[in-house]
Structure 1
Amino acid sequence: MAEGLLQKVRIWDLPTRLFHWALVLCVIGSVASAKLGGNAMVWHMRLGYAVLALLGFRILWGLFGGHWSRFSAFLYGPAALIRYLRGRPRPDDHFEVGHSPLGAVSVLAMLVWILLQVGSGLIADDEIATTGPLIRFVSGEVSLAWTSYHKSWGQWGLYALVSLHVLAILYYRLGRGRNLLGAMFSGDKHLSVQVPAARDSLATRLFALTLLGACAAAVYLLVSLETP
């Protein structure tokens, strides 16, 4: 369809976009502070707590957020995935609107992996000066095992998933002419199909802020369990 016949539709609401970029910054900062070590480990822990609060918010927003940010909008079955891989979508699939089936797998894998990485950090012990706030609730053997995971499989798996994410963005931009990053900045896509727009009003944004505040408070209480 000609460019003039395309219509601009709000796909990614502001809370989803802010979550995305906040998570990017926190993960980068967390990795950098871990590599620096020493006093920077204080920030590694703080950024880990921030990531946990963000993930909690994203789970809730996946249930109550804008249409295309909800899990129900991108939880595809095997048949839909096969249609996507074969390049034979049905008219009502709308794979190019929100997350494609492969994109959905990537997003869910990233969220689960980061959550597992943060969770392992909560009970980790670097045997130098830094321990996770919940370490007293597990045995030394469990802490040692999850510390090893945090530094090895967890770390390298995160790098692999981030690399695949970046490569997918480049593929869509250079190979298929789709600017995925642009939509994550503006929230809008120009589409030739009629699809519902995401709710992105002041009320929904305030609701999102309330959810984030609740998640931050929950993480603070969780971390406070460190003190007997």
Structure 2
Amino acid sequence: MTASKSAVEAAGAMPAAPASSPQVRTVRVWDLFVRLFHWSLVGLFAIAFMTGDEIEWLHIRVGYAIAALIALRILWGFVGSRHARFSDFVHSPGDTATYLRQAAQRKAPRYLGHNPAGGAMVVALLVMIGGIAATGFAMTTDAFWGSQWVEDLHEGLVYATLGLIILHVMGVIFSGLEHGENLVKAMITGRKRAP
């Protein structure tokens, strides 16, 4: 075994195995909180986007719920289950770039938890959605009520986040196809094919 291969396996990556074997064994990867967080955030972000200027009272309440979810997810990133922790999926920029090069060549290792690109996306989305919540809250305060630059920043963050969401979905599809795995189902059931 080479040093780089053992380092990859230590980081939670593993070679892809066929998903069509008759008795595929699965393991629990995503805990209940991570799954509830993920799908709640999807739904709440969609509601917030659709209600924007139309139903302000609902938009504001949903914004507070999103802010609470983000705060809880950040906390869970330190105290949650193994694959929910930042220490499991936050990688250096160099490791992430290497993973992306490997993925482009369809030679990326399979990770049981988030791969380096997925981990970078989780962090980026937490930061962006946290920024949306912060600027949304700022617009309700006396200091920034009616402030055009805060409103423009809020809106810009929303559209930048939509771009990240599109990249995230594309990454999930690409990685799922590369490794023969239904990653959407895994985020529903919490289970993935065992190494």
Q: Does 16-25 or 5-14 show the bigger shift? A: 5-14
Cα RMSD, aligned residues only:
2.4
For residues 7 and 87 of structure 1, the distance between their equivalents in structure 2, rounded to whole angstroms, comes to 26
Q: Does 49-58 or 70-79 show the bigger shift? A: 70-79
1:144 maps to 148
SS of 2:91's equivalent in the other structure is: coil
- After superposition, the Cα gap between the structure-2 partners of 1:172 and 1:78, relative to the gap in structure 1 and judged at 3 Å, is closer
SS of 2:192's equivalent in the other structure is: strand
Moved over 6 A (4+): none
Contact 2:76/2:84 (<8 A) preserved: yes
1:157 maps to 160
2:10 maps to none
Query: What do residues 135-170 of structure 1 show as CA deviations (whole Å, max 9, x unaligned)?
Result: 12x3568x332111112x112102111111122222
For residues 36 and 175 of structure 2, the distance between their equivalents in structure 1, rounded to whole angstroms, comes to 22
For residues 184 and 156 of structure 1, the distance between their equivalents in structure 2, rounded to whole angstroms, comes to 25
- After superposition, the Cα gap between the structure-2 partners of 1:42 and 1:177, relative to the gap in structure 1 and judged at 3 Å, is same
SS of 2:90's equivalent in the other structure is: coil
TM-score, normalised via structure 1 length: 0.69
SS of 2:193's equivalent in the other structure is: strand
Contact 2:30/2:190 (<8 A) preserved: yes
Unaligned regions of 5+ residues in structure 2, if any?
Answer: 1-16
SS of 1:87's equivalent in the other structure is: helix
TM-score, normalised via structure 2 length: 0.79
For residues 145 and 42 of structure 2, the distance between their equivalents in structure 1, rounded to whole angstroms, comes to 32
The residue type equivalent to 2:153 in the other structure is: Y
Contact 2:29/2:112 (<8 A) preserved: yes
Equivalent residues, number: 173
The residue type equivalent to 1:172 in the other structure is: S
Question: How far 1:29 moved relative to its partner?
Answer: 0.5
Residues 96-175 of structure 1: matches in 2 within 5 Å? 96-124=111-139, 132=140, 135-136=141-142, 138=143, 143-151=147-155, 153-175=156-178
Counting aligned pairs with the same residue, the percent is 33
The residue type equivalent to 2:132 in the other structure is: Q
For residues 158 and 98 of structure 2, the distance between their equivalents in structure 1, rounded to whole angstroms, comes to 33
Correspondence 1:183 to 2:186: yes
Correspondence 1:32 to 2:35: no
- After superposition, the Cα gap between the structure-2 partners of 1:27 and 1:82, relative to the gap in structure 1 and judged at 3 Å, is closer
Contact 2:96/2:120 (<8 A) preserved: no
For residues 128 and 28 of structure 2, the distance between their equivalents in structure 1, rounded to whole angstroms, comes to 28
Q: 1:19 aligns with which of 9, 34, 37?
A: 37
Contact 2:138/2:145 (<8 A) preserved: no
Correspondence 1:44 to 2:48: no
- After superposition, the Cα gap between the structure-2 partners of 1:79 and 1:4, relative to the gap in structure 1 and judged at 3 Å, is farther
For residues 169 and 56 of structure 1, the distance between their equivalents in structure 2, rounded to whole angstroms, comes to 24
- After superposition, the Cα gap between the structure-2 partners of 1:79 and 1:156, relative to the gap in structure 1 and judged at 3 Å, is closer
Larger Rg: 1 or 2?
A: 1
Correspondence 1:58 to 2:73: yes
Question: How far 1:68 moved relative to its partner?
Answer: 0.1
The residue type equivalent to 1:26 in the other structure is: L
2:9 maps to none
SS of 1:111's equivalent in the other structure is: helix
